[in-house]
Amino acid sequence: MKVRLKSFFHFDVAKVFGSDQVEMPDHAATLRAVLEEVALRSGGAIEPVDRNSGMLEVDYFVLLNGYDSGSLAEGLETGLHDGDEVALGTNYHWGGG
């Protein structure tokens, strides 16, 4: 199954995979699995899931087909389908004043 990747920060996730898509085995295709694959292939430069708690790091947000992962009933365990889009971004807020 192919899942499209999109990033909303300085690190282009698609470059890690050499494409804007990642091939995932059907039997193990969850949102968590894609995020773990991003961490693995980025050499740890991007680690959206906390290793200790297994929860999404507060510095990141993840969208599945435009829906925030926190609003999904199964959260990071949500199953994926061919053609789904996973978007990853940071929650950094820049300000001044």
The phi, psi pair for 26, rounded to 5°, reads -55, -40
Confidence of residue 74 (pLDDT cuts 50, 70, 90): very high
Q: Residue ranges per domain, the chain?
A: 2-90
pLDDT digits (tens, 9 = 90+) for 42-51: 888 889 999 8
Helix, strand or coil, per DSSP, at residue 19: coil
Architecture of the domain defined by 2-90: Roll (3.10)
- Counts of helices then strands in the chain (DSSP H, E): 2, 5
The string of pLDDT tens digits covering residues 2-18 is: 999 998 877 777 777 78
